[in-house]
Structure 1
């Protein structure tokens, strides 16, 4: 099969398209003929040699990627035969291997893809969709909510805008550049503004007519987040799930005592509840998409161009979930 391999930590150019031996499923595992592989900002940190939230850095050489969708083409011992030939999506957990034509994972991680979803949309929902469903559990939007989404053209931001609008909230979407702002407006935001415009906070205040924001869904950090938090009224919530403006390896923005809250990792899993919180969020995300309430934005790259996908993601030149297609 063909796969993307990383032989040395460093820049995106270190990702190489190679022919490697086909993986074989072991007991309790299934092999997926990959049709779409998700690319995450965390992947770029791991590529550079950062451990991120993982227990340790990946051993080299490695095939990056932890989100895949495709068709099950082989089974290991003890796996129910009904999975063979099924359209599935899976998050590989801490195990890499997604940037490839074939990927192996534990059968317990498989989700059958709902009929109306294509492979790329399923990958988006198992990754960014799961995170979005976890974030809103900290501040479920509804009538009277004024939500500010600083990265509204991104994969998570796109879904947060849709979810909040479906719930009856007023949504202010921020994005960088006119093309992304237009996408945010088309996605249903009540107001879409360019955070590169130094006057954007004044435009938001004018639109709201003195009404304060109640929640900031923040995946950006930095100056944009600081300006957004200044829009909050008493008791407002600042939910931090990333800080791309200051680098994924930096600390959070630490803005306002009493309203800022980190919502990724263990806190999100505790809030999700159930015996398997990850699967709970996966299923909720897939259901929202299958029933037409959420539609993920996807930007596709050929598998062989994984390095270009990483560069675009790092340079904030992407819109929606980045997906590699063999």
Structure 2
């Protein structure tokens, strides 16, 4: 029998601003049959977490019941087993995506044993957390891209968690990579990450720079931002290019009838690549696990290297504020 103890965790008692995230003592969870308990070394922070904290239900996650411990991605060491769980997991360093069950922003979290992945040698827990969520999404998006030496990839938010990995993958595939990021520090990070052209999208001349370097246009736009940045980027695409949509951090993209007609005339294909479209493309009984396994393997092999912004667990509110104001680079991770 596992004794009940207390732990430190981030709890949310009321939907609202980041200040509502409270660092406090609460009961340590007890694993149920088929589960393990993980001594958390790293917990991922996702932009979706900030929406759920505000009480904004966005696909695909439902709003949690309050009070709740946010967080859906954790890595650490298995320290306790639920009844019937394979004893081989005890003491192993693992990483897991908790799905719609929160609980990651804590010293301990429980997870179903059949969702665990051993952390590959050479990856620290924070890197593993980045790959189990952000990495799997990146590889899911890339299923639609078919990148090669003839590709010109235009990547906004190139210093973010997904953007960092997209730049690396595209460079490895031999594509020409145009990275967009906000401010000189993030632009420099994108250039250091391998982008052939790294531009500050807050500079009004960035589109002219793209035209000067690639007069034929980009062949694929990886769009996680929407808004005016996406509107401008669509005008830089070559005939027959693909517009892959997986976010709208800069606001919705509102096109005029004339702009839509122009895209049709240039045979630009726009596709939302999250949700069912991504999972169906994998073509496996458990598509999320397939993508997780691939992502961890890419990182273990050194082909993809996640960028990280680390915060102590107690500073979760600061992490949320910084993520919402785009003050972070790469994947945001809390470390108890």
**Which of the five TM-score ranges fits, normalised by the shorter chain?**
over 0.9
How far does the alpha carbon of each residue in 1:210-266 deviate from its partner, in whole angstroms, 9 at most, with x for none? 2211000011111111111111111100001101011xxxx5556645521111111
Residue in 2 aligned with 1:285?
295
Within the alignment, does 1:298 sit opposite 2:308 as a pair?
yes
Within the alignment, does 1:263 sit opposite 2:278 as a pair?
no
Within the alignment, does 1:212 sit opposite 2:217 as a pair?
yes
1:98-117 equivalences in 2 (<5 Å)? 98-117=104-123
Within the alignment, does 1:226 sit opposite 2:231 as a pair?
yes
CA contact (8 A) 2:316 2:334 kept: yes
Q: Which segments of 5 or more consecutive residues in structure 1 lack a partner in the other structure?
A: none
CA contact (8 A) 1:225 1:253 kept: no
Q: Using the alignment, how far apart are the partners of 2:254 and 2:223 within structure 1?
A: 10
Q: Using the alignment, how far apart are the partners of 2:140 and 2:240 within structure 1?
A: 21
Residues 83, 63 of structure 1: CA spacing in aligned structure 2 closer, same or farther, 3 A cutoff?
A: same
In the TM superposition, residue 140 of structure 1 has moved relative to its aligned partner by 2.0
Q: Using the alignment, how far apart are the partners of 2:221 and 2:60 within structure 1?
A: 27
Residue in 2 aligned with 1:77?
83
Query: Structure 2 length normalisation: TM-score?
Result: 0.94
Within the alignment, does 1:121 sit opposite 2:127 as a pair?
yes
Residue in 1 aligned with 2:48?
42
Choose which of 143, 148, 156 in structure 1 pairs with 2:162.
156
Q: Using the alignment, how far apart are the partners of 2:111 and 2:254 within structure 1?
A: 36
CA contact (8 A) 1:242 1:252 kept: no
Q: Which segments of 5 or more consecutive residues in structure 2 lack a partner in the other structure?
A: 1-6
Residue in 2 aligned with 1:142?
148
Number of residue-to-residue matches in the alignment? 321
In the TM superposition, residue 55 of structure 1 has moved relative to its aligned partner by 5.7
Moved over 2 A (4+): 251-258
- Note the aligned Cα RMSD (angstroms): 1.1
Of the two, which has the highest radius of gyration? 2
Residue in 1 aligned with 2:71?
65
Residues 175, 25 of structure 1: CA spacing in aligned structure 2 closer, same or farther, 3 A cutoff?
A: same
Q: Using the alignment, how far apart are the partners of 1:252 and 1:231 within structure 2?
A: 16
Paired residue secondary structure (2:168): helix
Q: Using the alignment, how far apart are the partners of 1:173 and 1:272 within structure 2?
A: 27
Q: Using the alignment, how far apart are the partners of 2:178 and 2:50 within structure 1?
A: 29
